Chain A
């Protein structure tokens, strides 16, 4: 508490001044995370879009229930010869074509057009219509969403984790370590994301990824078949490493000469401890924002790669493969591409708006964004 001897001038903290006021409760200091949380809670737009994203995730997680209780078809179940009852009338899921004899003459009857969205008219079946094999678009949309979201979130998590480690190593040690890691970032950065993704995805899809070693009879490494979702996840995680690693390295470089790092060094803390207990907490807000933004980018990349045939392998659904399969039927069955397209737009918009809100909450002055070709 400040004292007044001979007009002695002191500085009181806000808490001490408040405490002097009769009965006033002392102000408790708030952590940066609490302040950020308060800012985020007041950003209703960001929270609304977080709600949208959560809704999308919940819907996708409920896909098995939808398949078993509503559509009665699994994500890859074909039903091209099936018949459904629409308004009491039997309707072929796929219109029947072929060569028929009409008035004694062979006549080609065009067919193969899948049933369109029924919106409940078929008792819950084919709510969003069927594809050319009679598969339920609604079911594939939900299962495809699971795949797309799983790939996006997992790839973003792996990419972020690797990027953080590399950024800490490069920024803390500097010198040769920094040079090597920075050139590695530059090398990946030099390739457009989609191009690199296609190259890696296509190459790995041929025979999969089987690298590792045996230790006491136990295989240690990765053993992935060409059709595994993990191939796509690892490819996407790899191509995004520099987009997270470079900005974080810059932040670590700026922090490594700060007093608290010197203090920790003076106290005898080792390199690993300084990196993970001193530096990492100081870049955590950036990591969180980048992770959020990279999820949206990873989902879009998955969609792009799957659309081009270098991502999720058919017949497994993802929003990208669904758009790809429907792209040549836009005029007759637009729903095949339209519904997954809408799902992607909503999901990515929701993640991006929430990510922006999170960035504003954590550090309103920050200008963190993901930029790639």
Chain B
């Protein structure tokens, strides 16, 4: 998924400790019986609940699990929208955060027929925040709804039996025969055309998070679809604010892998202004900054709020896409030239040092990662100029796309534009607001030639990188994730083959080596994109918050587990 720099859920200072205690003592209403309490108290694991978490959050594209492909939304969704299985809500620093755990289903599924048949049984008695019962047929509705909305996630479902018609005409999709549900028995069976190495991971991402069958098959934002996790999104004002509350129908420890959560309510204002959001937390007005700290003030914040800031190296790659279908980047030498013209260290500097330069597409945290040596594209402006001349593309007009309202992304776009000019292109800059950026560049009608993008893993398997972002068989007209329209037939075949292995072969040493070879070929032989750094992100808390409660999984702080001092 895209863009993590906006992780800022600040917690409000606003409620003084004394007031919190009074409220707690009064026992403001809440869930009796087996329901989760709504007042300050202590959870069985010893962490305190508290009334309100005030946060500053990045803006996002949608607040609908079927449509959003931004980290800012997904961070919330992990505690709101639950799928058949879930990723463990544990820290990657101390535990295996890549482990798949049962979610709405009682187990992680029974896999038969050589990895082509998955069966799940739902937990009994689960309800959405709107009171509806979670039904097996809701899962099918969710997937059909994704197709109907032309969701960016529909590429994940092409291997399900009976999905061909939906793929051909998504908005007319009515049924997928390979998804068989039985509401009475609470069972979901998914039949695949061929084995799929990452299918369990796919079932853990928000595109497959189950929403009620009553949810309309269109962007539903105000309020967003009812939740089935410990929280639900009570209101959402796009690009301005949202409020998340406890799901009144969530029973304590209903799903062991998902914590009940500490804050009773999360109130967030949304901005992409990193300086502003950091200041809101520094001043104590908010308690959690979901945005990246302003990169030019890292030293200042570190020296003043050292204990309240955490840094995490993420499984992410920041890169420039280059469109294989459009001149000049339909030319290999032109793409190689750009790779030589980009000084990765300078782009790390632009992020204040929060990054590790890279020439691989896959991040180093993967077992399939093998650093490409020798460095395939050492910074060499002269060589870049030569390649541009040899390609016969010198002087062509190139428009660089980037995000306008995140300072570091804008600077990154300006840097690339400057470098392209230096190597002989007539380079121009087109900056677009972050909330719409990926939708626009992911639309073939835009004809984006080159631009900034980043990728944070949806799940920890290479197919999420290569098949989603660099496989020509996954190119779509809208919501296209392969912005560069990278399409190398031989590698497509190899990617598809590796992604179709039965789960028990997916992580073998030979499979890992093959993924690494794809990484190398894409970069060295085809210069398919310009990966330049693996991102380091920040979490900034007010002094009211207990930083030790922060659980950082692969990409996100788990807001539900935040606690106060």
Question: What is A's interface to B at a CB cutoff of 8 Å?
Answer: 76-78, 80-81, 94-99, 108-113, 132-133, 227, 309, 313-315, 325, 328-329, 331-333
Contacts and interface: CB of A to CB of B under 8 A. Distances in A.
B419 A98 contact: no
B431 A112 contact: no
Contacts of A331: 296-297, 300
Given A112-B352, A132-B296, A133-B418, A80 B429 contact: no
B275 interface: yes
Interface in B124-177: none
**What does DSSP make chain A's interface, helix, strand, loop or mixed?**
loop
Interface string B39-60: 0000000000000000000000
B311 A94 contact: no
B294 interface: yes
Nearest to B536: A108
A42 B300 CA distance: 54
B345 interface: yes
Given A80-B415, A111-B349, A313 B429 contact: yes
Contacts, number: 100
A133 B431 contact: no
Nearest to A315: B414
B353 A112 contact: yes
Given A109-B353, A227-B428, A315-B418, A81 B296 contact: no
Nearest to A99: B356
Nearest to A332: B296
Given A112-B349, A315-B429, A81 B354 contact: no
B514 interface: no
Nearest to A336: B296
Nearest to A109: B353
A112 B297 contact: no
Given A80-B343, A94-B346, A333-B296, A111 B415 contact: no
B421 A112 contact: no
Interface stretch (B85-93, B115-123, B403-411, B545-553): B403-411
Interface in B294-329: 294-300, 302, 311, 313
A323 to B, nearest CB: 13
A111 B345 CA distance: 11
B411 A328 contact: no
Contacts of A99: 313, 353, 355-356, 536
B296 A108 contact: no
B212 interface: no
A325 B415 CA distance: 14
Contacts of A98: 345, 348-349, 353, 355-357
Contact of B351 (A76, A109, A112, A314): A112
A360 to B, nearest CB: 44
Interface in B411-426: 411, 414-415, 417-419, 421
Interface string B277-294: 000000000000000001
B536 A80 contact: no
A293 B416 CA distance: 40
Contact of B354 (A108, A313, A325): A108
B274 A328 contact: yes
B536 A328 contact: no
A292 to B, nearest CB: 34
B97 interface: no
Given A76-B418, A314-B431, 18 more contacts: A77-B418, A78-B418, A80-B415, A96-B345, A97-B354, A98-B348, A99-B353, A108-B536, A110-B302, A111-B348, A112-B350, A113-B296, A133-B414, A133-B415, A309-B431, A315-B429, A329-B294, A332-B296
A95 to B, nearest CB: 7
Contacts of A112: 295-296, 349-353
Nearest to A77: B418
Nearest to B294: A328
B58 to A, nearest CB: 15
Contacts of A309: 404, 431
Contacts of B349: 80, 94-98, 111-112
Contacts of B407: 325, 328-329
A97 B348 contact: yes
B415 A78 contact: yes
B352 A111 contact: yes
B273 interface: yes
A62 to B, nearest CB: 23
Contacts of B421: 76
A306 to B, nearest CB: 13
B415 A97 contact: no
A137 to B, nearest CB: 15
Interface string B383-396: 00000000000000
A314 B352 contact: no
B421 to A, nearest CB: 7
B429 A314 contact: yes
Interface in B336-378: 343, 345-346, 348-357
B420 to A, nearest CB: 11
Contacts of A111: 348-349, 352-353
A24 to B, nearest CB: 71
B534 to A, nearest CB: 9
Contacts of B302: 110
Nearest to A327: B275
Contacts of B417: 315
A76 B421 CA distance: 10
Contacts of A109: 353
Contacts of A132: 296, 350, 411
Contacts of B300: 331-332
Contacts of A328: 273-275, 294, 296, 407
A333 B300 CA distance: 13
Nearest to B399: A227
Contacts of B431: 309, 314
A110 B356 CA distance: 12
A112 B311 CA distance: 17
Instruction: Give the top 5 A-B pairs by smallest Cβ distance, nearest first.
Output: A97-B353, A78-B418, A80-B346, A110-B298, A111-B353
22 contacts: A76-B418, A78-B415, A78-B418, A80-B349, A98-B345, A98-B353, A99-B313, A99-B353, A108-B536, A110-B298, A110-B302, A110-B352, A112-B296, A133-B350, A309-B404, A309-B431, A314-B431, A315-B414, A328-B275, A328-B296, A331-B296, A332-B297
A315 B400 CA distance: 11
B2 to A, nearest CB: 21
Nearest to A316: B429
A287 to B, nearest CB: 38
Contacts of B299: 110, 113
B447 to A, nearest CB: 12
A328 B295 CA distance: 10
A257 to B, nearest CB: 54
A221 to B, nearest CB: 22
Contacts of A133: 350, 411, 414-415, 418
A76 B400 CA distance: 15
Nearest to B418: A78
A96 B419 CA distance: 19
A304 to B, nearest CB: 17
Nearest to B352: A112
B280 to A, nearest CB: 14
Contacts of A96: 345, 349
Given A80-B350, A111-B352, A309-B404, A314 B410 contact: yes
Contacts of B354: 97, 108
Contact of A329 (B296, B346, B379): B296
Contacts of B295: 112
Nearest to B411: A132
A108 B313 CA distance: 10
A108 B343 contact: no
Contacts of B294: 328-329
